Amino acid sequence: MKLVLRVCLLVFYFASGVFAAPGAVRCGKLVDVRTGKVLVDQMVVFDESGTITAVGAAASATLPKGDTPTDLSGSTCLPGLIDVHTHITSDPYMSGYEGLGVSYPREAIIGAENANKTVRAGFTTVRNVGAGGFSDVALRDGINAGDVPGPRMFVSGPPLGITGRHCDSNLLPFEFHYKRAGVADGPWEARAKVREVVKYGADLIKVCASGGVLSKRDLPGTPQYSLEELTAIAEEAHKLGRKVAAHAHGTQSIKDSIRAGIDSIEHSSLIDDEGIALAIQHNTYLVFDIYDNDFILSQSAKVGMLPKSIEKEKKLGWLQRENFRHAFQSGAKIAFGTDAGVYLHGDNAKQFARMVEWGMKPIGAIQAATINAADLIGQPNKLGALEPGTTRT
């Protein structure tokens, strides 16, 4: 396990720099993430658009005329990694009441720094599932325009939630009359909110189906949106060509989200056997952020988290890891998602160690962050593998 993690970290370092221009790269070893095999002395060739045109034995490779390949013969090559659950515009040291002082423009600036840390850590694609004021849309557009360095981003904008629960804000008293931009109650209001966030640039929809850990006045296992509301959200999103990610710790909310046709279950902490069976039946991806517990419980005094949030995490973290093991051993599809922003950005790879510790084979953990994650975000033939037709990062 230690060897695999060292190899991964080495590849993370090279991922954002080596694949920066058309040409070729000679790899001492190359991980074929589809078969799980590690191939020796391979050449990866790119065309002018940055699309991979050939992968094969270096000795027989045909290179573009005049091209001298980048020599990584002492290293192992891996596709750019994908984290499907991040909050790039969030800072863990600005949580709880401290977060009330952060403006949306400030979020975008914080996000620019975090995006750079993330891509330098080898995560060349992320799915950002929740940000205030469409700050993640602004950051995505800035990265795409070349204004700031960062990973390829698929963003949700403000997450949808019901009044007074997780994904609303319960920190201020009544006289402020404040609610977050994604709050929508009832099927038709929820449909309208889906249309609104798509209008302002969302690539996907994030919905809070259950309570959460870091919010005030709700419990992670408590259902929030009803099955009727979740179904309306999924139908509207899919009609508009968007996938849906459901924040769902709770057992009932997980099953309701799957039955509603939602594409991925985020956190999945209290999933039971029926929920796992439903996920398998509906080809729904499960996302377990099993590194978070380490950071929250070790840094809670420094990051300003609410005391009740710490108590909730103490009760939930171990159960989530046990259910992660049960889910992948049962054959459920797992995508790599960490909840970056609850912990420090750039440390995404630390979750690999927890996945292996809880029984997943190293190649399974890598596949969760490559081909599985690419499939979840709707890019199965473009991202997640080093093979002809995929992009260079």
Q: How confident is the model at residue 10 (pLDDT cuts 50, 70, 90)?
A: very low
User: pLDDT tens, 74-91?
Assistant: 999 999 999 999 999 999
Residue-wise pLDDT tens digits, 255-289: 999 999 999 999 999 999 999 999 999 999 999 99
Residues 162, 207 contacting (CB under 8 angstroms): no
Task: Give me the pLDDT at residue 301, please.
Answer: 64
d(CA 156, CA 159): 7
pLDDT tens figures, 208-238: 999 887 777 788 889 999 999 999 999 999 9
Contacting residues for 106 by C-beta, under 8 A, at least 6 apart: none
According to the CATH classification, is domain 81-369 in 3.20.20.140? yes
Q: What are phi and psi of 76, to 5 degrees?
A: -110, 130
> Mean pLDDT for the chain?
90
The model's pLDDT over 283-319, given as tens digits with 9 standing for 90+, comes to 999 999 999 889 888 876 666 677 787 888 888 889 9
Question: Mind listing the pLDDT tens digit for each residue in 165-177?
Answer: 888 788 777 888 8
Residues 6+ apart with CB under 8 A from 315: none
**Residues 4 and 362 sit within 8 Å (Cβ to Cβ):** yes
Look at domain 2-77 and name its CATH class: mainly beta
Q: What is the pLDDT of residues 126-183, one digit of tens each?
A: 999 999 999 999 999 999 999 999 999 999 999 999 998 888 788 777 888 877 888 9
Predicted pLDDT of residue 355: 98
Sorted by where each begins, the domain ranges of the chain are 2-77, 81-369
Please state, in angstroms and as integers, the Cα–Cα distance from residue 235 to each residue in 186, 192, 279, 338, following that order.
14, 12, 18, 27
Measuring CA to CA, which residue among 319, 229, 226, 317 is closest to residue 272? Answer: 319
pTM score: 0.92
Report phi then psi at 85, rounded to 5: -140, 90
Per-residue confidence (pLDDT) for residue 6, from 0 to 100: 47
- SS3 string, 282-342, reads HCCEEECCCCHHHHHHHHHHHHCCCHHHHHHHHHHHHHHHHHHHHHHHCCCCECCCCCECC
With tokens 């009330």, the residue in question is: 100
Parallel, antiparallel or unpaired: strands 24-32 and 37-46: antiparallel
Q: How many CB atoms lie within 10 A of CB 54?
A: 15
